[in-house]
Amino acid sequence: MSTPEFASNRDNFCYRHPDRQSFVLCQRCLRTICGECQTPAAVGVICPECMKAERKNRTPAQKRAERRWGSGGRGPAMAITRSGRPVVTYTLLAITSFIGLLMLIPDVGLQLKNILQFATPYLYPQIWGFPFEPWRLLTSVFAHGGFIHLALNMLALWLIGQNLEAMLGRARFLALYLISGLGGSVMVALIGNPMVPVVGASGALFGMMAALLIIGRHIGANVTGLLVILGINFVYGLFVGGISWQAHLGGLLVGALVSFIFIKTKERARRRLQIAALVGVVVALLVIVAFVPPLYIASWA
């Protein structure tokens, strides 16, 4: 509902279009701007003049980031629109949530857990006599130990995945998620307690956070806050029981490696090299877990 005092106040009209009433202010200069003159920024919107000033004052690293990650000079806020919906993020959310909710059903949940969870003995049947089921290295990423565990991990996937998928593209984002999850399980096999089975997407999520950290630093973004959050989460896992810090460490390291590959092979002409490098990472992880005996084998066999 408009009032006479608002209608007569020229401050409530766009400074570039005096005939358009608006109550939105530029977050930099506080001038009134209409919908056409608004450009999404990190916080709120800014006017065309402030946008021009921001582009002019960008560091060389930030200018390179626009070319490298396809923002077309319009900033990260436009990347999601151009890339479409984060289909992979939503699909991973749907699949993992469905499995997690099924695991809350007493009998069904126990059976699913026995099928999907990972433990080191499944990789070394000659030592422990378990069946050889190496696919558990990856299936454990989609299983969780309870509703809180599931909810927290899915919240993190939803918050981080949407932006990261828009930056990387669907195929690269899916590769990052799965390879990081695999890296977390491999680290559990190498230095974890073989008698304690593990489930959860934490390795994949730490890989995603590592990617945001590496790519953000590469394009000149301020990653201090992310670094603090990452450090707190990792240290928390070291001192709280029931959390596999080994999976966190593995996902973090592998996620950083995958991100480095993305950065070094970002050009379209190097797409085949990128794919070959990612395949090489997967093969290396499988070779390591197949031929490097876990540190606990001597004491637990």
Is 144 labeled as catalytic in the residue annotation?
Answer: no
Our answer to whether residue 149 is catalytic in this structure is no
| 3-13: b (≥16 Cβ within 10 Å) or e | eeeeeeeeebb
Q: Please classify residue 241 by burial: count the beta carbons closer than 10 Å to its beta carbon, then call 0-12 exposed, 13-18 middle and 19+ buried.
A: exposed
The DSSP string of 220-249 is: T---HHHHHHHHHHHHHHHHSTT--HHHHH
Q: What is the pLDDT of residues 18-57, one digit of tens each?
A: 877 676 778 778 788 887 788 776 556 788 888 888 777 7
Catalytic residue, candidates 71, 144, 248, 259: 248
Among 123-132, 195-204, 233-242, 275-284, the least confident range: 233-242
Rounded to whole angstroms, the Cα distance separating 247 from 253 reads 10
H or E, element range at 46: strand 45-46
* 37 and 48 Cβ atoms separated by less than 8 Å: yes
- pTM, two decimals, is 0.72
Quote the mean pLDDT of the chain: 82
Domain boundaries, the chain: 1-57, 87-300
Given a contact cutoff of 8 angstroms between Cβ atoms, the answer to whether 130 and 136 are in contact is no
H/E stretch holding 45 reads strand 45-46
Alpha-carbon distance of 150 to 182, in angstroms, equals 18
Please tell me which residue in 71, 180, 185, 202 is annotated as part of the active site. Answer: 202
What pLDDT, on the 0 to 100 scale, is given for residue 37?
84
Count Cβ neighbours within 10 Å for each residue of 152-162 and write b for 16 or more, e otherwise: ebbebbeebbe
pLDDT value of residue 66: 55
Confidence of residue 206 (pLDDT cuts 50, 70, 90): very high
Q: What is the mean pLDDT of residues 241-246?
A: 86
* Percentage above 90 pLDDT, the chain: 43
113-156 per-position pLDDT tens digit: 999 999 999 998 878 888 999 999 999 999 998 899 999 999 99
pLDDT at 96: 96
Find out whether 55 and 73 touch, Cβ atoms under 8 Å: yes
Architecture of domain 87-300: Up-down Bundle (1.20)
